[in-house]
Structure 1
Amino acid sequence: MALVAVVYAYNDLPDVRAEHLDAHRGFLGSQDTLVLSGPTSDGSALLVFEGEIATVEAILDDDPFLAAGLIKERRIFEWTPVLGSWKSQLGL
């Protein structure tokens, strides 16, 4: 199983973010390949998917936050976990 990590850096638009948050979370929650996602303490977000970079990129092109101009930067890269207690729980 290949894992793909995504880091979203958000534009500082709290009213727009609040308006589109439910649609964004609903969209992500509907993705079968999403392993984990959530906001970080620095105001960005970390998402982890199973799959290939190109596929994840195509999926995220439809994220309502992107369409609303909330994503300032999106970094997508393959991730290979080698240590940690979650490794066996996730079947890695």
Structure 2
Amino acid sequence: MIETILLGAATVFVLTSLVGIYRAVVGPTVPDRVIAINFIGSNVVIVIALIAAAIGEPGALDIALVYALLNFLLSISISKFQVERGGAL
């Protein structure tokens, strides 16, 4: 029963990521795209954690943690690159 609820919640987060994909492609500005990519990355972390809880695999939480750190570093590096290039976020 709880596995079904967790997998259903994971499905909802995957569907909301589609909105983020649209925003990342359409834009219209670089900050919009950066926020959309960060949103998608956060949703991926949540989906990995929910699936790990649903299937009872705590090792997958390590993967989610590493992905969350990489998502954070990506956002920081894109922001730093944009500011150094002369455009303000």
Higher helix proportion (structure 1 or 2): 2
- Is TM (by shorter chain) over 0.5? no
Which is bigger in relative contact order (C-alpha 8 A, separation at least 6)? 1
Bigger Cα Rg: 2
Higher strand proportion (structure 1 or 2): 1
Instruction: Output the TM-score relative to the length of structure 2.
Output: 0.30
